[in-house]
Copies of this chain bind each other. A is one copy, B any other.
Amino acid sequence: MTESDRSTLFDQLFARTVQETLEEPGYGSWRSITAPDAVSLSFGFPYPESFPETALLESLGAVLEEEGSHALQYGGGEYVDSLREGVLEREAVHGIEATTDELLLTNGATHAIDGVAQTFLDHGDEVFVEAPTFMGTLSLFGNYGVEVTGFSLDDDGLDVSAVETALEERREREAPMPKLVYTIPNFQNPTGTTLSRERRERLLELAAEYEFIIVEDDAYGELRFDGDDVTPLSALDDEGWVVRMGTFSKTIAPGVRTGWLVGHEEIIEQISHISAGGTNTFTQSVLGRYFDAGHYEPVVEELLEAYEGRRDAMLESLAAHLPPGADWTEPEGGFFVWVTLPEGIDSGELLPEAAEEGVTYLPGSHFFADSGGERSLRLSFSHVTAAEMDRGVAALARATEAAMDE
């Protein structure tokens, strides 16, 4: 049997959704967008000095000294419970009253979204998302063979009245209704915008009327450095329409790969039921101890100050360098600014020139299920220093101006 016969054979054995996406880029394909000498504004990496290395090491030492083998056995020891309590306390700070039966620890936020998808989605089901939205979630929904419909955002986040119109229209013509509406309400990835309180309330009314689950991805909710908290969808919901997820990737470190789900007890039970295998109690115990020792809140306070400064630096650089006709969002938290280039400039086509000038970014098209975002791009202010950011934004401006002159 030749190599190519064999490849064809495997293709035939793959599941239907895998066969349908054989030619598409997989999860994480965007990671290839790098250039050796360019400033990377591409990725939502926390800045490395923010990682609490010493506290994590101390925490592991304390866990092993106090709990010994329990922390390493199936199920873990009491510090896993400490982590659950820590998460619920933080959720309570944002107005969410949940019990341990309404909480599930996960291997990160994407694993959490995957659990929701596996629990609710059949091939051909309908899902509504923001357009643009997090490319990882788009890739994940692609694995389930569902129909993804995007709705635009403005300064108040997702255009909920457009969602309402679509729902009405679908009901009228007896078209399939969405099972899930996926939103990143705070400092949205990639636009940085926040969904207003009024729209949150309206979206919840629509969920109850049209019977869909709102997936509230609050990966950035802890990182508001400006303005007032907007109550989470989950805290406004007393009927169980919202399943909500959070992560420590941004507030502790991505490598700890630990997140959580909060939702109606029955939904959490089913997601837990369908989840195969355990989670990482070694890491969870370290984080539980980290919470118990009081490390979490002061570190987040430091992060807020740092990210506010980085956001300010990014906005200053954009104002200083970008040519007329360019526009950008002004986030009150999170990691990202969404830039719209002057008319006629395609951010995907511009990327090689921009990399040549000394900057990389994620072109807007990555954040759309179908077409869209050709004039836009995402810049991250989370990772590099203010000076590098300025160098990167200046490079983006030079590449843009050169393209405008063509």
User: For the complex, is A110 an interface residue (Cβ under 8 Å from B)?
Assistant: yes
Query: Nearest chain B CB to A22's CB is how many angstroms away?
Result: 8
Q: Is B72 in contact with A51, judged by CB distance below 8 angstroms? A: yes
Residue of B whose beta carbon sits closest to that of A29: B273
Q: Is A74 in contact with B43, judged by CB distance below 8 angstroms? A: yes
Query: Nearest chain B CB to A239's CB is how many angstroms away?
Result: 6
Q: Is A121 in contact with B273, judged by CB distance below 8 angstroms? A: no
Q: For window 19-74 of chain A, which residues contact chain B by CB distance below 8 Å?
A: 21-22, 26-28, 31, 43, 45-46, 48-49, 51, 53-54, 56-57, 60-61, 64, 68-74
Contact of A136 among B114, B140, B266, B276 (CB under 8 A): B276
Q: Is B26 in contact with A273, judged by CB distance below 8 angstroms? A: yes
Q: Provide the A349-387 mask, 1 if CB < 8 A to any CB of B, else 0.
A: 000000000000000000000000000000000000000
User: For the complex, is A149 an interface residue (Cβ under 8 Å from B)?
Assistant: no
- Beyond A254-B73, A276-B143, whether A53 also contacts B68 by CB under 8 A is yes
Residue of B whose beta carbon sits closest to that of A139: B276
* 4 closest A-B pairs by CB: A110-B277, A26-B273, A48-B69, A72-B253
Q: Is A51 in contact with B69, judged by CB distance below 8 angstroms? A: yes
Q: Is A277 in contact with B111, judged by CB distance below 8 angstroms? A: yes
> With A and B bound together, what is the CA distance between A226 and B237 in angstroms?
59
User: For the complex, is A119 an interface residue (Cβ under 8 Å from B)?
Assistant: yes
Q: How many copies does the complex hold?
A: 2
Q: Is A143 in contact with B118, judged by CB distance below 8 angstroms? A: yes
Q: Which residues of B contact A61 (CB under 8 A)?
A: 57
> With A and B bound together, what is the CA distance between A53 and B139 in angstroms?
38
- Beyond A49-B69, A51-B69, whether A255 also contacts B282 by CB under 8 A is yes
User: For the complex, is A285 an interface residue (Cβ under 8 Å from B)?
Assistant: yes
Q: Which residues of B contact A125 (CB under 8 A)?
A: 15
Q: Which residues of B contact A13 (CB under 8 A)?
A: 120, 179, 211-213
Q: What are 27 A-B contacts defined by CB distance under 8 Å? A: A10-B240, A10-B264, A13-B212, A13-B213, A14-B270, A16-B122, A18-B119, A18-B120, A26-B273, A27-B273, A27-B277, A28-B278, A51-B68, A53-B64, A56-B282, A57-B57, A57-B61, A72-B253, A72-B255, A74-B254, A74-B255, A114-B276, A253-B282, A255-B280, A255-B281, A256-B282, A257-B278
Residue of B whose beta carbon sits closest to that of A145: B122
Q: Which residues of B contact A9 (CB under 8 A)?
A: 211
Q: Provide the A277-289 mask, 1 if CB < 8 A to any CB of B, else 0.
A: 1111111010000
> With A and B bound together, what is the CA distance between A281 and B258 in angstroms?
11
User: For the complex, is A173 an interface residue (Cβ under 8 Å from B)?
Assistant: no
Q: Which residues of B contact A240 (CB under 8 A)?
A: 6, 10
Residue of B whose beta carbon sits closest to that of A211: B9
Q: Which residues of B contact A143 (CB under 8 A)?
A: 118, 274, 276
Q: Is A270 in contact with B72, judged by CB distance below 8 angstroms? A: no
User: For the complex, is A221 an interface residue (Cβ under 8 Å from B)?
Assistant: no
Q: Which residues of B contact A255 (CB under 8 A)?
A: 71-74, 76, 280-282, 285
Q: Is A18 in contact with B257, judged by CB distance below 8 angstroms? A: no
Residue of B whose beta carbon sits closest to that of A144: B15
Query: Nearest chain B CB to A120's CB is how many angstroms away?
Result: 6
User: For the complex, is A113 an interface residue (Cβ under 8 Å from B)?
Assistant: yes
User: For the complex, is A329 an interface residue (Cβ under 8 Å from B)?
Assistant: no
> With A and B bound together, what is the CA distance between A34 and B111 in angstroms?
30
Q: Which residues of B contact A69 (CB under 8 A)?
A: 48-49, 51, 53, 253
- Beyond A48-B73, A69-B51, A273-B27, whether A14 also contacts B120 by CB under 8 A is yes
Query: Nearest chain B CB to A275's CB is how many angstroms away?
Result: 6
Q: Which residues of B contact A231 (CB under 8 A)?
A: none
Q: Is A108 in contact with B18, judged by CB distance below 8 angstroms? A: no
Further contacts, 5 of them, CB under 8 A, given A6-B240, A18-B273: A6-B239, A7-B266, A31-B75, A57-B60, A113-B276
